[in-house]
């Protein structure tokens, strides 16, 4: 599965300006549609393609 993230020049994933959620999307079209909500005026952004290679189960604490 591939995910798309909006990242700044420090390779940090952008956060929504009011909600604080991360700018990670399932489709590139969706990222482009919503990117303006995540961009700060003083930073430059690029799109990063994230490939999920492995998913692990979380162990439950007793």
pLDDT digits (tens, 9 = 90+) for 10-34: 999 999 988 989 999 999 999 999 9
Q: Which residue has the tokens 């290679």?
A: 53
Confidence at 41, pLDDT banded by 50, 70, 90: confident
Q: 10 Å Cβ neighbour count for 46?
A: 10
Cα separation, 27 vs 58, whole angstroms: 26
* Dihedral over Cα of 31, 38, 7, 9: its sign: positive
Report yes or no: 4 and 45 within 8 Å, Cβ to Cβ. no
């Amino acid at each position: 599965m591939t995910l798309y993230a909006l990242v700044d020049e420090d390779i940090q994933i952008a956060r929504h300006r009011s909600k604080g959620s991360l700018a990670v999307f399932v489709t590139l079209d969706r990222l482009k549609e919503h990117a303006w909500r995540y961009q700060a005026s003083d930073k430059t952004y690029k799109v990063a393609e994230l490939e999920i290679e492995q998913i692990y189960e979380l162990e439950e604490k007793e």
